[in-house]
Amino acid sequence: MAEVCNRCGLPQDLCACEELDKDAARIVVRLEMRRFRKPTTLIEGFNPKRADLEKIARELKNKLACGGTAKEGYVLLQGDHRDLIKTHLVQLGFNETAIEVQ
């Protein structure tokens, strides 16, 4: 028997909940200076209950060749990646108009 989505009740192969969540998210990308003046890119606006932050962080770290982590509703990447992050988030399925780079 096919697995059923907990949110919409449809079978997993027909479920579109994750895609709808990506369209509705308003993502803010900003640069933050951490200890010892280390630049870090902070990506906020994900719903931690609906978005798989670990998966998003892993894919961004692989594409940008950097370290980082996924915490409570945000992804933290080591280094300044503000110029490249928007294209990679669009490739992951997020809406381009909902991404704000500061």
- Residue-wise pLDDT tens digits, 40-75: 999 998 877 767 888 889 999 999 999 999 988 889
CATH code of the domain containing 34: 3.30.780.10
* 24 pLDDT more than 70: no
In a domain, 77, yes or no: yes
User: What domain count does the chain have?
Assistant: 1
- Taking 70 as the threshold, does the pLDDT of residue 21 lie above it? no
Report pTM.
0.72
Reported as a single tens digit per residue, the pLDDT across 81-91 is 989 999 998 89
- Provide the pairing of β-strand 99-101 with 27-33: parallel
Return d(Cα 76, Cα 46) in angstroms, integer: 12
Q: Would 3 be classed as within a structural domain?
A: no
Q: Does residue 68 lie within any of the structural domains?
A: yes
- Taking the alpha carbons of 75, 80, 85, 88 in that order, is the dihedral positive or negative? negative
